């Protein structure tokens, strides 16, 4: 939990490829802030690409946006050639 924030009652998880960025812009422009709802966005990127997703989402919402790197989070990545 982030300082000054409560615990969300609902979790919305959104997954997208790098081609889905524009759709994410529209989603977050249209979602009203609700402290009872937390959003997790997982974006498929090359491991060599630095994500600007938190900054991009923050331009389209008044909600507090935090990237996983800012919180020390790490997420496993599928092998480049896929899982077998």
> What is the per-residue pLDDT across 8-64, written as a single tens digit (0 to 9) for each?
889 999 998 878 889 999 999 999 988 889 899 988 777 677 778 889 999 999 998
What integer is the mean pLDDT of 56-84? 69
Residue pair 37/10 in contact by the 8 Å Cβ criterion: yes
Give how far the C-alpha of residue 77 lies from the chain's centroid of Cα atoms, to the nearest Å. Answer: 15
Report how many domains make up the chain.
1
Query: What are the C-alpha distances in Å from 75 to residues 72, 82, 84?
Result: 10, 16, 19
Q: Is residue 82, in this structure, part of any structural domain at all?
A: no
Query: Residue 26's pLDDT is what?
Result: 94
Q: Is residue 84, in this structure, part of any structural domain at all?
A: no
Q: Is residue 73, in this structure, part of any structural domain at all?
A: no
pLDDT classification of 81: cutoffs 50, 70, 90: low
Residue whose tokens read 């009203």: 32
Q: Is residue 33, in this structure, part of any structural domain at all?
A: yes
Model pTM greater than 0.75? no
Q: Give Cβ neighbours of residue 27 (< 8 Å, ≥ 6 apart).
A: 14
Query: Residue 9's pLDDT is what?
Result: 87
The whole domain housing 17 covers: 1-48
Q: Is residue 27, in this structure, part of any structural domain at all?
A: yes
């Amino acid at each position: 939990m982030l300082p000054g924030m409560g615990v969300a009652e609902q979790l919305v998880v959104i997954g997208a490829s790098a081609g889905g960025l524009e759709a994410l812009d529209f989603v977050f422009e249209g979602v009203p802030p609700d402290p009872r709802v937390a959003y997790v966005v997982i974006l498929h990127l090359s491991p060599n690409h630095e994500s600007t997703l938190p900054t991009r989402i923050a331009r389209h919402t008044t909600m507090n946006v935090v990237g996983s790197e800012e919180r020390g989070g790490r997420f496993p990545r599928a092998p480049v050639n896929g899982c077998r």
